[in-house]
């Protein structure tokens, strides 16, 4: 099983193509190739990343065909009937029904959902999110790989183990060659179609150097590239990195509560962070944002606002992780968010997000719960992240202690993820930016 299957171009309308995966239509943006109906492509994050020859695509698709339909059946069989075990006239039933009809949830609705305590009600919430996930993205699951290129950081975020005042941490900065070779291996050997490059705010690495790395990486590898270097790149850096080929930005706002934000971030303001994310959206980046769950002083309404802020920012990936206290930070000894809290947030994200948005299982969630992937994927999540940072550096990217996959080889991570996807009936293919066939003209035309 590889991390993407090719799809057949059904129709082309300017930059937009409709791509069919055994008849399931996804919509993607094409900036790279001259495409006509009948061509085969790989798409990721709603972008065409590679054109493949029909001969190559047909071999892959024929080996996948049987498994594809088997997995779909398995996934469909896991979907529980609507509103099982809750009173049909309850407030919960009303909210879940509205969400499943893709109605926008209010702050009060989300606060109510995030405050649920009874097991049967939480099960109903997670079941509804899973049903909605299935109805909008079928069995698609996107798999990203992350390379953590430096643990140097100019900031002193109170919760983060790589903050610049942690003198106990050994620092590293991957060289350009190391980054490019990790990316090449991920793409050429392991078939990744989507990569995240992440670091602390490593201002000792000039923006020009980052731009050069992104340009070379994109030139040599057909991949959807997400950057996560922090605000130090500035607005002009965002533009230059986009021009070099980066297409996604991962920057969490961490919390939508300005008071909590300012207590935790002595070096930046919530306003600046949001302006940075909004600017990236204007440039054309696909936005991944989100926050930390269980921060000191945070309540359920704050979390509801976090989910809604993601929506307001036009986030295409709702990335929420539990706050895990790091012993070498000011928040050492505080409480870690629980599995149940994380499942409720995962489900709330799915119910509140627009259909095309992806809900990932974050590595921090995997760190606090062995079953995180399985349970989150059954509560609305449809994306996984594998850690591609070279093993000699991985433990040094110590944002919180004992991170999941800290010492696990890539082969082992791939085997695990593959088994999980197979057991849940999920297929590693692009989720697309919209799934409605009606929105795509079926008339054939080609890009200039
Ligand atoms: N500089 C990058 C950016 O643009 O945001 C990202 C680097 S930062 C280390 C990556 C993420 O780690 C943060 O967005 C934060 O949510 C998460 N993180 C840091 N400390 C954490 C902790 N103690 N528990 C859980 N997550 C944490």
**447: pLDDT strictly greater than 70:** no
| Assigned token pair, 30 | 């094409």
CB-ligand 1 contact for 228 (6 Å cutoff): yes
Q: What is the pLDDT of residues 91-148, one digit of tens each?
A: 999 999 999 888 889 999 999 999 999 999 999 999 999 999 999 888 889 899 999 9
CB-ligand 1 contact for 159 (6 Å cutoff): yes
How far, in Å, is the centroid of ligand 1 from the Cα of 282?
23
Ligand 1: residue whose CA is nearest its atom 21: 160
Q: What is the pLDDT of residues 315-361, one digit of tens each?
A: 999 999 999 999 999 999 999 999 999 999 999 999 999 988 999 99
| Assigned token pair, 54 | 């029909």
CB-ligand 1 contact for 24 (6 Å cutoff): no
**443: pLDDT strictly greater than 50:** no
**83: pLDDT strictly greater than 90:** no
Confidence of residue 80 (pLDDT cuts 50, 70, 90): confident
How far, in Å, is the centroid of ligand 1 from the Cα of 160?
6
CB-ligand 1 contact for 403 (6 Å cutoff): no
CB-ligand 1 contact for 254 (6 Å cutoff): yes
Confidence of residue 431 (pLDDT cuts 50, 70, 90): low
**Is residue 74 within 8 Å of 424, Cβ to Cβ?**
yes
Q: How many CA atoms lie within 13 A of 258 on its CB side?
A: 5
Q: Quick one: which atom of ligand 1 is closest to the CA of 160? A: 20
CB-ligand 1 contact for 378 (6 Å cutoff): no
The reported pLDDT for the residue numbered 435 is 34
The reported pLDDT for the residue numbered 124 is 95
Which residues, including other chains, have CB under 8 Å from residue 277's CB and lie 6 or more apart?
249, 251, 253, 287, 289, 313
Q: What is the pLDDT of residues 39-79, one digit of tens each?
A: 999 998 889 999 999 999 999 899 888 888 999 899 999 89
**433: pLDDT strictly greater than 70:** no
**Distance set, CA 397 to CA 147, 173, 312, 313, 407 (Å):** 10, 10, 30, 28, 12
| Assigned token pair, 334 | 């505080």
How far, in Å, is the centroid of ligand 1 from the Cα of 293?
12
Q: What is the DSSP string of 357-390?
A: -B-BPPHHHHHH-TTHHHHHHTTT--EEEEE-S-
Provide mean pLDDT across the span 278-292.
97
Among 159, 163, 361, 369, the mutation site with the greatest number of ligand 1 atoms within 8 A of its Cβ is 159
| Assigned token pair, 344 | 């409720």
How far, in Å, is the centroid of ligand 1 from the Cα of 149?
14
Which residues, including other chains, have CB under 8 Å from residue 194's CB and lie 6 or more apart?
44, 45, 49, 142, 143, 144, 145, 223, 224, 225, 226
CB-ligand 1 contact for 326 (6 Å cutoff): yes
**444: pLDDT strictly greater than 80:** no
């Amino acid at each position: 099983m590889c991390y993407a299957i090719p799809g057949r171009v059904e129709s082309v309308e300017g930059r937009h193509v409709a791509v069919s995966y055994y008849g399931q239509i996804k919509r993607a943006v094409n900036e790279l190739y001259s495409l006509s109906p009948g061509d085969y492509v790989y798409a990721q994050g709603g972008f065409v990343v590679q054109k493949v020859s029909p001969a190559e695509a047909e071999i892959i698709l024929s080996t996948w065909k049987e498994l594809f339909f088997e997995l779909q059946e398995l996934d469909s069989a896991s979907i529980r009937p609507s509103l099982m075990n809750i009173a049909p006239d309850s407030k919960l039933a009303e909210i879940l029904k509205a969400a499943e009809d893709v109605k926008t949830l209010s702050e009060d609705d989300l606060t109510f959902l995030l405050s649920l305590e009874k097991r049967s009600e939480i099960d109903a919430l997670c079941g509804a999110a899973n049903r909605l996930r299935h109805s909008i993205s079928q069995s698609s699951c996107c798999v990203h790989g992350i390379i953590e290129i430096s643990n140097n950081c100019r900031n002193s975020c109170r919760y983060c183990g790589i903050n610049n005042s942690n003198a106990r941490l050994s620092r590293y900065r991957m060289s350009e060659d190391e980054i490019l070779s990790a990316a090449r291996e991920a793409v050429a050997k392991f078939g990744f179609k989507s990569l995240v490059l992440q670091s602390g705010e490593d201002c000792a690495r000039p923006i020009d150097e980052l731009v050069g790395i992104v340009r070379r990486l994109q030139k040599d590898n057909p991949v959807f590239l997400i950057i996560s270097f922090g605000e130090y790149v500035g607005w002009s850096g965002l533009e230059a990195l986009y021009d070099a080929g980066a297409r996604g930005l991962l920057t969490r706002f961490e919390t939508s509560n300005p008071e909590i934000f300012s207590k935790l971030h002595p070096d930046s303001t919530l306003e600046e962070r949001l302006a940075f994310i909004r600017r990236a959206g204007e440039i054309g980046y696909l936005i991944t944002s989100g926050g930390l769950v269980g921060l000191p002083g945070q309540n359920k309404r704050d979390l509801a606002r976090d989910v809604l802020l993601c929506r307001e920012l036009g986030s295409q990936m709702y990335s929420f992780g539990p706050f895990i206290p790091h012993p070498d930070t000011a928040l050492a000894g505080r409480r870690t968010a629980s599995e149940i809290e994380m499942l409720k947030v995962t489900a709330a994200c799915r119910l509140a997000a627009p259909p095309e948005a992806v809900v990932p299982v974050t590595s921090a969630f995997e760190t606090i719960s062995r079953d995180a992937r399985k349970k989150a994927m059954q509560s609305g999540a449809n994306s996984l992240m594998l850690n591609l940072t070279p093993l000699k550096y991985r433990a040094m990217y110590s944002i919180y202690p004992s991170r999941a996959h800290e010492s696990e080889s890539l082969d082992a991570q791939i085997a695990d993820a593959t088994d999980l996807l197979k057991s849940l009936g999920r297929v590693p293919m692009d989720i697309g930016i919209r799934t409605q066939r009606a929105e795509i003209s079926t008339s054939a035309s080609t890009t200039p």
